[in-house]
Structure 1
Amino acid sequence: MAIVARWVLFLLEEGYEIDNAIKLHLDDGDLQAVIKAAFESSTSMLSACELKDGWFNSAYAITLDNGNKVVLKVAPVNATSGVMRYERNMMKAEVEVLNLLKQTGRIPVPEVFHYDDSSSIIDGEFFIMEYLAGEPYNKVKETLSPLQREAIESELGRLNRLINEIKGEQFGYFALEEGQGKEWSNVFMAMVSGLLADAKDANVTLPAEAKDIMEAIERHRSSLEEVKEPCLVHWDLWDGNVFVDNGKITGLIDCERALWGDPLMEYYFRSLANCPTFVRSYGISEMTPSQKKRLMMYDLYLDLILHIECTYRQYSDQNHMNWAAQNLQQSWERFKSLAI
């Protein structure tokens, strides 16, 4: 376990980029065309720099001729057919969630200036948003004092709680209305089933048969049934998606995987994060036995994704693929031995 933890922490803290075959890369002509279309020819691009930290979408920091900076985010190649089931319609969802969070006036997220899903300017969806001051937390974390880190993680707990206080009508991924439903246990089981179908479609080897994984989760369905209220869950709020400047949070990004579900799905509740400051600030003093079971289910769900996506994204880094397989194996061994 120590080797796995060291590897994944290296990836997260260093902003490690893994080459994949699904990112849509744009040249200067494409970027200029996007800016002209978004701002009705009144503005042009002076310079652009690709932001390479993300593992799914392409992103560019663009300086405009009026001196302002914006960020362009571009959906991947084959964003509807070449991705996993839960990844469909994610860009539209991200724009809608950013707007929803912005409307609260209490959660720092970038403003969306323009969204285009026509594929008439470039070969795919894109949106342009506000450029945030600061750096991703994972890139500066080790340069900060323990007190500064505690302050940031405490504030993140408070902000994450505000996100989760937004309530929905049904459970399920924000991007996939057809997969939403009134019962969290049914919706979550369907989410897992979708991942297993993705694995089958791509001939991905799993640590157990799909039916065995489903049966293991089914044994703990009662803990899922305790979740009664659909809460907005960011789900990808790891350190790389938290911008900080001068020891303070300036913005939260990448809410494309948001869903209506159980707040315990949030990243900082994952076993990898292990952050008592966040949990305390969020407002949880002690987990119940059922909550602990759900934490392990959500760990397994994430670990399935991390392994299966290697094939869909055609990663070239064998070390990462080996880590993802080993990590899933260990996660499965822990979960299948969980007492009822």
Structure 2
Amino acid sequence: MTVDVTTAVLEAVGAHGPASRRPLAGGTYNTVTRVTFDDGRDWVVKVPPPHATGLSYEQHLLVNEVTFYEAAAGGPIPQVVHSELDPGAPTGAYVVMTTRPGLPWSAVADGLTADETRALRAEFGAAVGRLHGVTGPGGYGYPAEPLGPLAPSWREAFTAMTDAVLADAERYAARLPWPVGRIHEVLAGASDVLDEVTRPALVHFDLWQGNLLVTGEAGARRIGGIVDGERMFWGDPVADLVSTSLFGDPETDVDFLAGYAAATGSPLVFTPSVRRRLVLCRSYLYLIMLTETVPRGVGPDAMEATWNAVAPRLVAALDELGQPFGRGFSGRELRRGAASDG
């Protein structure tokens, strides 16, 4: 009889006979199962896929996730109960963590009042501010080191990250709005501002509402959990603002910023260089979103939806990065670039 992977993990950690098991949806990469025991233990078991298909940085992601949970321990962060990070182990790699209460914010957003939303944004900002107070072990980049050892500077790490996703785009023949060479040129031309970052902060980099759990009754909502830390890296805390206000303007998120300032002791000031760092990180996320559709095999409809949502925003970000260094790219050049790359 074939033993499923979750059962194999539970047997490996000596946890037999859970009272219930329930697959958790919403993820796009791992197998995630909630297991509950009669003695009150309530766990989430996460197992990565057996294949290695993915982007260059998507190697040994559980190393990143365990690093995140252990570095950010406390508050709404799950606690690691067991983990095996060696994919060559008999069970393969896995992490077992405690559950956090609540439902994804994205699932309850439509039912929140304006006051509840404002309070949650402030609490969310405070939680992110506390995350950013955690400093890494002396280098920048992904803890799993899929692109090489942690780098001595944020500029070096970020360049390796963007170079890797651009190489992935070429490898998978992903559709990008500009030729890869032009994108690389613009990112490199703006990268000097990254030298302002002198401390490798804990960055989640996937703080969209699907990874935030909201708990409590109507009128008393709270942040119950911050989950899925597998995309984390040590780097520029400004990078998290890309997903905290996904496709929005973080400068207008006044409640989030108030909570952030309360937790850090100082307001986040959007100087021209901070805005430039933010646009660089936004460009990186948009490149990931466009490129990952190919190895994930999302299908033509989802691919087109992602293109329509992300490609114009990537063009705007790259155009903004190009402006201070001379003339901007014209609409004709943008269209020609897209055609030559498509």
Question: Fold-level match, TM-score > 0.5?
Answer: yes
- Contact 2:126 2:259 (C-alpha < 8 Å) held by counterparts: yes
What amino acid is the match of 2:302? H
120 and 225 in structure 1: CA distance in 2 versus 1, 3 angstrom threshold: closer
Cα distance in 1 for partners of 2:213, 2:315 equals 35
CA deviation after TM superposition for structure 1 residue 125, in Å:
1.7
Aligned mate of 1:278, from 256, 275, 282: 256
Question: Partner residue of 2:329?
Answer: none
140 and 233 in structure 1: CA distance in 2 versus 1, 3 angstrom threshold: same
What amino acid is the match of 1:309? E
Instruction: Determine what percentage of the aligned residue pairs are the same residue.
Output: 28
Aligned mate of 2:301, from 312, 319, 338: 319
Cα distance in 2 for partners of 1:162, 1:294 equals 20
Question: Partner residue of 1:50?
Answer: 23
Does residue 166 of the first structure (1) align with residue 149 of the second (2)?
Answer: no
Aligned mate of 1:255, from 229, 232, 237: 229
What amino acid is the match of 2:319? S
30 and 174 in structure 1: CA distance in 2 versus 1, 3 angstrom threshold: closer
CA deviation after TM superposition for structure 1 residue 86, in Å:
0.9
- Contact 2:135 2:202 (C-alpha < 8 Å) held by counterparts: yes
CA deviation after TM superposition for structure 1 residue 32, in Å:
3.0
Does residue 221 of the first structure (1) align with residue 191 of the second (2)?
Answer: yes
Pairwise CA RMSD of aligned residues?
Answer: 2.1
CA deviation after TM superposition for structure 1 residue 179, in Å:
4.2
Does residue 297 of the first structure (1) align with residue 280 of the second (2)?
Answer: yes
Cα distance in 1 for partners of 2:41, 2:87 equals 26
Cα distance in 2 for partners of 1:271, 1:77 equals 32
Aligned mate of 1:310, from 284, 289, 293: 293
What amino acid is the match of 2:315? E
Q: 5+ residue gaps in structure 1?
A: 1-26
What amino acid is the match of 2:280? M
Q: Residue deviations 1:256-277, cap 9 Å, x none?
A: 1111111111021554364332
TM-score, normalising length from structure 2? 0.83
Question: Partner residue of 2:244?
Answer: 268
- Contact 1:137 1:243 (C-alpha < 8 Å) held by counterparts: yes
- Contact 2:175 2:290 (C-alpha < 8 Å) held by counterparts: no
**SS of residue matched to 2:314:** helix
Aligned mate of 2:172, from 202, 211, 217: 202
119 and 63 in structure 1: CA distance in 2 versus 1, 3 angstrom threshold: farther
Q: Residue deviations 1:309-329, cap 9 Å, x none?
A: 11111113x332112223342
Q: 5+ residue gaps in structure 2?
A: 262-266, 325-342
**SS of residue matched to 2:163:** helix
Q: Residue deviations 1:82-110, cap 9 Å, x none?
A: 121111111122112212221xx4x3211
Question: Partner residue of 1:71?
Answer: 44
CA deviation after TM superposition for structure 1 residue 161, in Å:
0.8
Question: Partner residue of 2:339?
Answer: none
CA deviation after TM superposition for structure 1 residue 196, in Å:
0.7
1:323-338 counterparts in 2 under 5 A? 323-338=305-320
Question: Partner residue of 1:157?
Answer: 125
Q: Residue deviations 1:24-49, cap 9 Å, x none?
A: xxx875433322221x25x3123211
